[in-house]
């Protein structure tokens, strides 16, 4: 917990012109979780006043108990201090799990590369950095450009989360005067990652000659300081999707670094450079057979294609898979439930992030993340605690299912998960239909990212998130963004190849597909 002190305005007539506490914290670079971007509908930006507490609002009373209100708890986005105050704020989830490896990067390969990198580490060695800008998390990889060895990794929360959990919230924040604040925020995060990599390796930053970056289109726009005015409204037009080259000073605000920076090209407003990196890494553009790449998250991005054609789309799955809009939902941090199973007693057991094998004491669970939710809903359906429509039996309908003291999965939580999985599943069906093939003709289904690596594929298929026909063909691919940017960093994938993928890609707007809504509704069931 951090303590923040400040002065409020004493004149109540000025409150409408005054910034709320969330905005005041953002300006001071003190970031707390605010998935709804300060609209007062998620109830997650909770702070505790030690003195000078504001009067509780309607939203405060909706999310906080009377006891909590008496103890000084408030929603930061609804709080307008009018006198001197002292407030306790939770630190953003800095220990969130971030994946920095990929599917075919074996442990012995990592150890070998590390050993080679150490042997070659001299004052004359030169390095490159790969960066994955995710909506929730950031990951960076330091590579020895001579030996091609992976040397160090660094990960971080994307502190732009305080402006909203998903890309739509970030777009809204940018369009409402926060564009430069958000650029400053992501630049500071990336500067810290670059410094951390150099420190870990024991090198000077001057030895870093090249940086390659990929992220979704919104993240790349926010980094470059581009306007997001046309990103969030039809026909969803990005400012620039091209291969971008510049200096570290121009792109990262690092004037001391004489380094070339490349941002990979994107495909559309909602299928960005991160997916481009995944296509490149999995060699989809060089394959005769069809392959499916899924990045399951708030903005579910997917590609189906081969060396002749690519069909790409994205679907707004909402933040449920990343813990947003779920009463007990959280990101992948220590203490959060990541897997659920039914014990012989008929009661659900679970695994918690941060537990060590052989421990006798189970950590007290503080929430549940996306992979845990999928497991839980699968088990609830298998044991007939919910029906095919996702409705709880009478025993749990009003109270929800309690996994732990602080983790209760409600009926509304199930609905949120249903909507997310139905959107992903309907999008997959549309791509297969557009390609004019059947699921039998899909060679492999790659699941990108940490979520795809941790997910129980059988249970994901069991609730209908992944097509049953692809269950045995589904492969966790790991961090395909870092893997793909490394291919570009080392010259294995050229600018021309990526630009060719852009021309091969047929962007499907699901909102314009007549059967999308029908498919979406049909896949709501389990």
Residues 149 and 78 in one domain: no
- pLDDT at position 360, please? 37
Cα-based distances in Å from 490 to 77, 139, 143, 148, 406: 45, 18, 9, 7, 47
Q: How many domains does the chain have?
A: 3
8 Å CB contact between 212 and 130: yes
- pLDDT at position 107, please? 42
Cut 0.95: pTM above it: no
Domain span holding position 261: 107-275
Domain presence at residue 479: no
Domain presence at residue 73: yes
CA gap 352, 372 in Å, rounded: 9
Banded pLDDT at 101 (limits 50, 70, 90) = low
Measure the N-to-C terminal CA separation of the chain; round to a whole number of Å.
40
DSSP 409-430: E-HHHHHHHHHHHHHHHHHHHH
Facing residues of 142 across strands?
Answer: 129, 152
Q: Return the CATH number at 213.
A: 3.30.420.480
- Is residue 102's pLDDT more than 50? yes
DSSP 431-476: HHHHHT--GGGEEEEEEEHHHHHHS-HHHHHHTTSS-GGGGGGEEE
Contacts for 428 with CB less than 8 Å, ≥ 6 apart = 292, 294, 302, 304, 467
Residues 81 and 134 in one domain: no
Residues 247 and 188 in one domain: yes
Phi, psi (degrees; rounded to nearest 5) at 35: -55, -30
Pairing of strands 150-157, 85-89: unpaired
Domain presence at residue 524: no
Residues 61 and 139 in one domain: no
Domain presence at residue 124: yes
Residues 122 and 209 in one domain: yes
Q: What is the pLDDT of residues 208-225, one digit of tens each?
A: 999 999 999 999 999 999
Report the pLDDT averaged over residues 227-249: 94
- pLDDT at position 181, please? 94
CA 253, distance to chain mean position in Å, is 24
Greater confidence (103 vs 323) lies with 323
The 3-state DSSP class for residue 488 equals helix
């Amino acid at each position: 917990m951090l303590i923040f002190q400040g002065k409020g305005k004493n004149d109540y007539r000025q409150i409408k012109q005054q910034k709320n506490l969330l905005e005041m914290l953002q300006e001071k670079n003190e970031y707390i979780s605010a998935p709804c971007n300060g609209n007062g509908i998620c109830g997650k930006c909770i702070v505790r006043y030690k003195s000078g507490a504001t009067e509780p609002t309607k939203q405060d009373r909706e999310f906080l108990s009377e006891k909590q209100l008496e103890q000084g708890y408030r929603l930061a986005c609804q709080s307008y201090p009018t006198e001197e105050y002292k407030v306790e704020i939770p630190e953003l989830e800095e220990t969130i799990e971030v994946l920095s490896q990929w599917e075919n990067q074996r442990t012995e390969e990592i150890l070998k590369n590390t050993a080679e990198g150490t042997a070659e580490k001299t004052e004359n060695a030169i390095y490159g950095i790969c960066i994955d800008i995710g909506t929730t998390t950031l990951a960076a990889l330091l590579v020895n450009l001579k030996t091609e060895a992976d040397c160090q990794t660094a990960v971080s929360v994307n502190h732009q989360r305080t402006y909203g959990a998903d890309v739509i919230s970030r777009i809204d924040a940018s369009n409402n005067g926060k564009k430069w604040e958000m650029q400053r925020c992501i630049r500071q995060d990336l500067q810290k990652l670059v410094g951390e990599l150099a420190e870990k390796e024991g090198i000077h930053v001057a030895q870093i000659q090249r940086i390659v970056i990929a992220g979704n289109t919104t993240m790349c726009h926010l980094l470059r300081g581009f306007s997001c005015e046309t990103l969030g409204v039809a026909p969803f037009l990005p400012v620039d999707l091209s291969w971008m080259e510049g200096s570290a000073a121009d792109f990262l605000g690092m004037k001391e670094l004489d380094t070339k920076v490349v941002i990979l090209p994107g495909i559309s407003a909602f299928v960005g450079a991160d997916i481009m990196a995944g296509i490149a890494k999995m060699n989809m553009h060089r394959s005769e057979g069809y392959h499916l790449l899924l990045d399951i998250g708030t903005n579910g991005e997917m590609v189906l294609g081969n060396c002749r054609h690519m069909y790409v789309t994205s679907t707004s799955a909402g933040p449920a898979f990343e813990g947003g809009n779920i009463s007990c939902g959280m990101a992948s941090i220590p203490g959060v439930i990541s897997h659920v199973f039914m014990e012989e007693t008929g009661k659900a057991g679970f695994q918690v992030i941060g537990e060590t094998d052989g421990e006798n004491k189970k950590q007290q669970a503080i929430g549940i993340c996306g992979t845990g939710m999928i497991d839980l809903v699968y088990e609830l359906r298998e044991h007939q605690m919910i029906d095919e429509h996702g409705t709880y039996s009478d025993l749990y309908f009003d109270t929800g299912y309690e996994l732990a003291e602080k983790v209760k999965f409600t009926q509304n939580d199930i609905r949120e998960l249903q909507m997310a999985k139905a959107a992903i599943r309907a999008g997959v069906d549309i791509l297969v239909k557009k390609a004019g093939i059947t699921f039998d003709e899909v060679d492999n289904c790659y699941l990108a990212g940490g979520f795809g690596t941790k997910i129980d594929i059988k249970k994901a298929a069991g609730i209908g998130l992944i097509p049953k026909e692809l269950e045995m063909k589904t492969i966790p691919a790991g961090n395909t963004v870092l893997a793909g940017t490394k291919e570009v960093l080392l010259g294995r994938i050229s600018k021309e190849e990526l630009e060719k993928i852009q021309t091969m890609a047929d962007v499907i707007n699901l909102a314009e597909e007549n059967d999308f809504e029908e498919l979406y509704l049909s896949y709501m069931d389990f």
